[in-house]
Chain A
Amino acid sequence: MRIKASMSDETPYKKLKDPQLKNNIFGVPEGYFDSLKEKTHLEVSAEENRFLKKEQLKKGVFNVPDGYFDKLNEKIISATSITKEEGILGNEHLKGNAFTTPENYFEKLNAEILSKVKPEAKIIPLYQTTWFRSVAAAVVLIMVALLSIPKNEVSESELLSEISDEAIINYLEERQAIEYELLSSIEGLDAILDNMILEETSSYSFALNENPELDYDFEYLDY
């Protein structure tokens, strides 16, 4: 730690050395010091034998953790060096680990992970099986074929023109009411929606299965 040189002999303020300046400009009432002496003497003698004199009371009531003062210096130095030129980058103390683990944690961790992975047989999800994919492809093909067959029936607008506007409005309103009733009667709808969202956010596990090298974007890394 750098020690600054004493400045008392080198003060540039020479005027302060003028002895006249040292003369006292303040006064006190006459006989003040005599009475003060008596007053304090009385007070002291009265207090002399009281508990404040007892040695054990002079011991502080405050305590510090073991080795506190040994560490204090180090702490102050490390704290002050942060704001100086080198900043946090050169501060080795800061790089120290602030966290700990329970005793023997890492020894137990190995065993725990191994117990969880060993008995498990590799489960292939349904959507990854060949037969499932073939069936799915066939279903898609049939649907496409069905949809592409031209319809010979009358067009939708022609059909609708035969129904009165009022009937259509009534029908739509009724349907809306039913939907609303249905939704509000489902208990814990919020919880169901939350679960759906959760499952979607867990889709990374699917990505992991499909592509073990995780070539997907991090959706949660935002600025």
Chain B
Amino acid sequence: MDDHQIIEDFKNPTTRNKAFNVLLERYQQRIYWHIRKILIDHDDTDDVVQEVFIKVFKNLDGFREASQLYTWIYRIATNEALTFLKKRQRKQAWSIDDVNHDLENKLTSGSYIDGDEIQVKLQKAILTLPEKQKLVFNMKYFDDMKYEEISEIIGTSVGGLKANYHLAVKKIEEYLAQD
């Protein structure tokens, strides 16, 4: 079943549940890992990933297929994850540095983190990047996405994304070269 078929079947009440099940099977893991790299913590990610798919369920009826289904879901996921961080920042009256510090703590002492030293160091390096560079780096480096797709998701020109990605790579290499 391709994505178009999922959307069609979802609009029909008799096939709606089955279509949504297929959608979940297809995208839950990709979306989970995308959010996990932003939020680091498993429990936070669990909350947000559920929220994302509930939003997808509520809005898929009106989806006009101007973009691909999965870039649309990624877009919702990115927005929800960033909003989650912003809400926590406001609630705790944190600065952006506090947020990053909290994420770094979760990286070094949180549960369900299994990477070896160099992999964890890479994640720490990613945390030092500005928001957009972080997103582009994760999607390009780990998920092998095309710039055109990333552009649909975070709404920046392909040229801008390339510049952001190269900056990110440079900064991360500098970070990893430090002792």
A54-97 to B contact mask, C-beta < 8 Å, 1/0: 00000000000000000100010011001100011100011111
Chain A nearest CB from B177 CB (Å) reads: 5
A201 touches B87 (CB 8 A): yes
Most buried by B among A97, A99, A100: A99
Check if A167 is an interface residue, CB within 8 A of chain B: no
For A212, what are the chain B residues with a Cβ–Cβ distance below 8 Å? 59-64
Asked, given contacts A113-B53, A208-B76, whether A223 binds B83 with beta carbons under 8 Å apart, the answer is: no
B118 touches A78 (CB 8 A): yes
B115 touches A96 (CB 8 A): yes
**CB-based nearest B residue for A202:** B83
Check if A101 is an interface residue, CB within 8 A of chain B: yes
For A116, what are the chain B residues with a Cβ–Cβ distance below 8 Å? 50, 54
For B162, what are the chain A residues with a Cβ–Cβ distance below 8 Å? none
Check if B141 is an interface residue, CB within 8 A of chain A: yes
Most buried by B among A120, A198, A213: A213
Check if B117 is an interface residue, CB within 8 A of chain A: yes
Alpha-carbon gap, A93 to B49, bound state (A): 27
A109 touches B32 (CB 8 A): yes
For A106, what are the chain B residues with a Cβ–Cβ distance below 8 Å? 28-29, 32
Chain B nearest CB from A136 CB (Å) reads: 22
Check if A177 is an interface residue, CB within 8 A of chain B: no
Chain A nearest CB from B70 CB (Å) reads: 13
For B79, what are the chain A residues with a Cβ–Cβ distance below 8 Å? 204, 214, 218, 220
B173 touches A87 (CB 8 A): yes
For B17, what are the chain A residues with a Cβ–Cβ distance below 8 Å? 114, 118
Asked, given contacts A94-B119, A98-B120, A212-B63, whether A114 binds B21 with beta carbons under 8 Å apart, the answer is: yes
Interface size on B, residues (CB 8 A): 65
Which one of B76, B87, B116, B172 lies within 8 Å of A88 (CB-CB)? B172
Alpha-carbon gap, A145 to B40, bound state (A): 57
B90 touches A222 (CB 8 A): no
Check if A112 is an interface residue, CB within 8 A of chain B: yes
Check if A197 is an interface residue, CB within 8 A of chain B: yes
Alpha-carbon gap, A164 to B15, bound state (A): 77
Check if A122 is an interface residue, CB within 8 A of chain B: yes
B113 touches A100 (CB 8 A): yes
Check if A38 is an interface residue, CB within 8 A of chain B: no
**CB-based nearest A residue for B143:** A95
A98 touches B115 (CB 8 A): yes
Which one of A71, A100, A218, A222 lies within 8 Å of B112 (CB-CB)? A100
**CB-based nearest B residue for A213:** B66
**CB-based nearest B residue for A112:** B50
Alpha-carbon gap, A160 to B115, bound state (A): 75
For A218, what are the chain B residues with a Cβ–Cβ distance below 8 Å? 78-79, 82, 154-155
